[in-house]
Structures are given as C-alpha cells and as structure tokens.
Amino acid sequence: MASKELTYQDVAEHNTKKDLYVVIHDKVYDVSKFVDEHPGGEEVLLDVAGQDATEAFEDVGHSDEARETLEQLLIGNLKRNPGDPKPKAPIPGAVAPPANTSNATGLGIGLYAIVLLGGLAAFGAYQYLQQQQAVQSA
Ligand code: HEM
C-alpha cells in the first residue's frame, strides 16, 4: 500500500481541498478525507496542499494521536528529484523570525566560547612565560 513512489511533481498536482496530498518527512499523505476533521482547521492544510508540510506539522507539536492519524493517511514515499524543494533547508530571507533569533543566539554563545577560550589560552601562555623567566633568573 504505502510502497508507492511519488515525485514532488505528482504531489503538487493534488492541491485542492477535495484532492489534497502533503509531504511530511519524505512520506506522502492523502489528507483529502481529513481536511474537514482537522482540529487545527482546513485553512492550514490548504496552505500546504501539494507541498512539503514537515515544518508546519512539526512546528505545531502534534500529539502521538495526530501521528497515528497520519499513519492511516499514508499513501507512499516521496521520490526526491534534484532541484525539488528541500523541507528543512534554511532558505535565506525566508526563515521565520523566531528561528532567526534562536540561530543568532546560538552563534552569539559560540562566539563567546571562542573569545573565552582564546583569553584562557593567552592567560595560560603568559603564566608559562612568567614561570620560565622566574626559573631562568633564579
Ligand atoms: C497533514 C496531517 C495532519 C494531521 C493528521 C493533523 C492532525 C491534528 C490533530 C489530531 C490535532 C489535534 C491536536 C493533537 O492531537 O495534536 C491537530 C491540531 C492542530 N493542527 Fe494538525 N494535523 C495535520 C497537519 C497540520 C498542519 C500542516 C498544520 C499547519 C500549521 C496543522 C496545524 C494544527 C494546529 C494549529 C492545531 C491546533 C488546533 C488547536 O489546538 O486549536 N496541522 N492536528
């Protein structure tokens, strides 16, 4: 059943409310019958119709129950072709602001660590030289 292979192109053709495929973690789901039942509303599903919905799905933090529902809608695997949109690849300028902020924070901490380590190394070298001088002049 779920062994069907679909390309991104195939999925993109199913982008209407009555015929709605989405890709989540490289698997293809037919959510046509679920649109009306979705507790998060039909709008969000229509937004990602025929596209990769991995990020949208994960951002919400769906429950295990939601994931089970998803399993029932599975129709196949995505066959990725070169040039297809990548789900998680950060697109410059198209990253959501919260993601940006956390990235910047991560970099900030990394820079801090580098500066701190550099300082420690310099201090260590200074101490060592002082010691050497003390030994020589003794
Ligand atoms: C395509 C497969 C999807 C399935 C099977 C699914 C299923 C569910 C289920 C069962 C819930 C109830 C809460 C829970 O159990 O986590 C839920 C809530 C929700 N879903 Fe989805 N969902 C899907 C896709 C999406 C997508 C692509 C979005 C895009 C943003 C989305 C947004 C939401 C939101 C915002 C809620 C919270 C609604 C609320 O608490 O008022 N869902 N979904």
Domain boundaries, the chain: 4-79, 91-138
- Does the reported pTM lie above 0.95? no
**Would you state the pLDDT for residue 91?**
47
Give the residue among 73, 70, 50 at the shortest CA–CA distance from 62. Answer: 70
Return the ∠ at Cα 70 (arms to 79 and 53), rounded to 5°.
55
Ligand 1 centroid to residue 38 C-alpha, Å: 6
Domain 4-79, CATH class in plain words? alpha beta
Q: What is the mean pLDDT of residues 46-63?
A: 97
With pLDDT > 90 as the criterion, what percentage of the chain qualifies?
A: 55
What pLDDT digit, counting tens, does each position of 71-120 carry? 999 999 999 888 887 765 444 555 455 555 555 555 666 777 778 888 88
Give the residues surrounding ligand 1 with Cβ less than 6 Å away. Answer: 22, 29, 31, 34, 38-40, 44-45, 48, 53, 56-57, 60, 62-63, 65-66, 69-70
Pocket test for ligand 1, best of 60, 63, 72 (most atoms within 8 A of CB): 60
Q: How far apart are CA 85 and CA 89, in angstroms?
A: 9
